[in-house]
Amino acid sequence: MTLPDKGRSVPARYKTAVLQRRQLSPGTVQLDLVRPHGFEFTAGQKIRLYRGNVSRDYSLASAPTAPFLSICVRIVAKGVLSPVLGAAKKNDSFSFTGPHGYFVFHPSNRHPVFVATGTGIAPFASICRSGVSGVTLLHGVRDLKQRYYAELFNRSAKQYVACLGSRKNPAQGTYPGRVTDFLAEKLPPGDYDFYLCGRREMIRDATWIIDDRFSGARIYTEIFY
């Protein structure tokens, strides 16, 4: 028996092209893409980008009102699509479906804590650009060059901390440990909504710590890989 495909709609497919490629750090680029007419999204959502038969998901980093769409891509060595994006030139064409996903901001009376690793910062850039401010933002980075969109977060976050792993002599505004160490040792007791985005292991470990230290907290997650 075939069940009717009730209520399932095929996502719209849009054509786009590269307007600009910007190097954010040695291994990461921002691509600004043509925003197709009629494409709307909520800050925090992602698109599924196609090149031929290959597709990968990318969170939008631009504001929902911006005239173009920005994505922030880490170039994965031996990856299929990200090296293509890392070398993309003006006018290179792609297609995408979307918007996809539910990793959007939920206003509440609890304090928002955004936690990202690497390019997991992208949806938070979009959310802050959409007008959300006063948040705590923890960004797990390997070095200071990976503090993507630092100017934006210095302006809009109440507390913005780049977590540098095990580095011993941190600069101002950085923490010499992982984001999970900060959650376990530095974040004071309180009522929080946590938004976690990036590596699966970080999200797993952060969830354990939050469950242990902050009962009653809400946790929203977006796993990149």
Ligand X SMILES: Cc1cc2nc3c(=O)[nH]c(=O)nc-3n(C[C@H](O)[C@H](O)[C@H](O)COP(=O)(O)OP(=O)(O)OC[C@H]3O[C@@H](n4cnc5c(N)ncnc54)[C@H](O)[C@@H]3O)c2cc1C
Residues of this chain that bind ligand X (CB under 6 A): 46, 56-59, 71-74, 76, 79-82, 118-119, 122, 222, 224-225
Burial class (CB in 10 A: 0-12, 13-18, 19+), 22: exposed
**In the complex, what is the shortest distance from the CB of residue 219 to ligand X, in angstroms, rounded to a whole number?**
16
**In the complex, what is the shortest distance from the CB of residue 104 to ligand X, in angstroms, rounded to a whole number?**
13
Asked if residue 206 lies in contact with residue 196, where contact means CB atoms within 8 angstroms, the answer is yes
**In the complex, what is the shortest distance from the CB of residue 180 to ligand X, in angstroms, rounded to a whole number?**
17
The residue number whose beta carbon is nearest to ligand X equals 79
Give bridge partners of residue 9 from the DSSP assignment: none
Q: Which is nearer to ligand X, 148 or 214 (CB)?
A: 148
Question: Which residues 6+ apart lie within 8 Å of 192 measured at CB?
Answer: 110, 111, 112, 113, 210, 214, 217, 218
**In the complex, what is the shortest distance from the CB of residue 131 to ligand X, in angstroms, rounded to a whole number?**
21
Q: Which is nearer to ligand X, 69 or 138 (CB)?
A: 69
**In the complex, what is the shortest distance from the CB of residue 48 to ligand X, in angstroms, rounded to a whole number?**
9
Q: Which is nearer to ligand X, 184 or 223 (CB)?
A: 223
3-state secondary structure (DSSP) of residue 207: helix
User: How long, in residues, is the chain?
Assistant: 225
Token match 């977590």: residue?
Answer: 163
Q: Which is nearer to ligand X, 214 or 224 (CB)?
A: 224
Q: Which is nearer to ligand X, 35 or 56 (CB)?
A: 56
**CB-based burial, 208-220: b 16+ in 10 Å, e otherwise:** ebbeeebeebebb
Query: Beta-carbon neighbour count of residue 187 at 10 Å?
Result: 21
**In the complex, what is the shortest distance from the CB of residue 186 to ligand X, in angstroms, rounded to a whole number?**
25
Q: Which is nearer to ligand X, 61 or 157 (CB)?
A: 61
Taking alpha carbons only, the member of 178, 168, 173, 170 closest to residue 202 is: 178
